[in-house]
Chain A
Amino acid sequence: MPNQRFPKIEILSIEQHEIKFILSETDTSVANSLRRIMIAEVPTLAIDLVEFAENTTVLNDEYIAHRLGLIPIRYTSPDTLRASDCNGAFLPHRECVCFERCPRCSVEFELDVNFDQTVKERSVPEHERTLPFTVTSADLVSNHNSVEPAHFLHADEEGNSHDQGISIVKIGPGQHLKLKAIARMGISKEHAKWCPVAVATYRFYPIITINEEACARLTLEQKQELVDVCPDRILELDEVSGKLTVSEYAWEIATYTEDLKVAQDAMKEKPEDDDFVTVEHSTDRFIFSVEGTGAMDVEEVLMSSMRVLKERLQYLSQQLEQIREI
């Protein structure tokens, strides 16, 4: 392994729905591959097949089937705490040997909501008996005890909602919705409903350099102008020493605007003079921000993407061996 790199990972924050981290000592190709895999190739569960028994609601079968597909389905591994990677716990349904479906490759959900019956059971006051209510993801009953719909991303969202889960359809007097939904494992190259992330992006870490020598020729007013011209506030001026400094959180807020360049070009005696302040992209340091949909914990999405990449590389290396033999 003559040309191997040893990248570093630094976690900035992990929340229920978002992870931020810095990947360093590698190049864009690795950063971009991870980003692309997180978006398109990390397997998750999603409803893929719906069998309708009864649907007298205002929405047609296809419409409801599509909505069911988009509900994030969450797997929680029984043995490890907070592990939500379904890869390995389930088989992709095309790889499974069963005839149609089996517990190794699919999870069944039952949904049966009858307006009149529900109103009776809930003992709704007389004058509210004809008011429609919403059928939500909370009405889906799973046949697998570690798989269920992710109703909300976090407690705040749950608190702000009027419903128990994700809305599917509003139901009124005399209406009935009864169906069986089958969730399967897949990747979002096939359909975006299997995408575990809402956002997965990276930015280049900024390298901000202040040329002290050149700055010495500037007046205090000119330095202040440089500070003020940056909409992202990456510079600060020390009033006492009159020195320009890079602000503490500049790496987080730098947006690489042209304003600084234009302003300082106007301050130069000759156009070819050195820049006073330069803001450049780092080529080996990336700030990642990944937001999940609720189907998986975000740190698991990251881990899973790396495992997917590793498996792919192993597979390709095996295939390459076969070429060699020919």
Chain B
Amino acid sequence: MNAPERALSFLLDEDNAEQKITYAADTKVSNAGTFTINKEDHTVANLFRMQLLRDPNVRFAGYIHPHPLIHRIDLKIQTTSSTVPPVDCLTAAIEDLAGETDHLIEQTTNAISKWKKENQAGMGQFQ
């Protein structure tokens, strides 16, 4: 009866003008801030965290997914110098991951067609 709409776990709540990403600079730590990404979970959060940690400009990167029923992640980033804002590091991380995914798509397409070519004899078409 009062259960929330299932789709609200991945669709933005437009009635309440929910934003996908918001940023809040840290008031106590320099070169740091928290990105709140709505309607995302470990799938992208951990991907971002691990990619950020490979960046030499990043001193700290971590996230929390507060609760399985709260569809939001808070990603905190601290950079090594004030000349590199956290948003730059996150943008670079996403760009790297997108490049990696593109590479993966190409690799997989080739691997699948190569496998099929080599093993076609044994592959019956099922209808």
Contact = CB atoms under 8 A, between A and B. Distances in A.
A157 to B, nearest CB: 10
B9 interface: yes
B10 A317 contact: no
A83 to B, nearest CB: 11
Contact of A155 (B21, B42, B123, B126): B126
B1 interface: no
Contact of A32 (B46, B91, B104): B46
Contact of A16 (B49, B50, B54, B126): B126
B46 A29 contact: yes
A11 B118 CA distance: 11
Contact of A320 (B55, B87, B107): B87
Nearest to B8: A190
Contacts of A36: 41-43
A21 B105 CA distance: 14
Interface of A: 1-11, 14, 16, 21, 26-30, 32-33, 36-37, 40-41, 82, 94, 154-155, 187, 189-191, 299, 302-303, 306-307, 309-310, 312-317, 319-324
Given A6-B103, A21-B111, A306-B108, A320 B50 contact: no
Nearest to A5: B100
Contacts of B107: 7-9
B111 A10 contact: yes
B108 A29 contact: no
A310 B6 contact: no
B44 A316 contact: yes
Given A190-B10, A306-B105, A320-B91, A9 B111 contact: yes
A306 to B, nearest CB: 5
B109 interface: yes
Contacts, number: 132
A2 B12 CA distance: 32
A27 B44 contact: no
Nearest to A315: B20
Contact of A29 (B22, B50, B92): B50
Nearest to B46: A29
B9 A14 contact: no
Nearest to A27: B50
Given A3-B51, A11-B115, A29-B46, A94 B94 contact: no
A159 B125 CA distance: 16
Given A4-B100, A189-B10, A320-B90, 16 more contacts: A2-B96, A5-B100, A9-B107, A14-B115, A14-B116, A21-B111, A29-B46, A33-B47, A36-B42, A191-B6, A310-B101, A310-B105, A315-B20, A317-B98, A319-B20, A320-B87
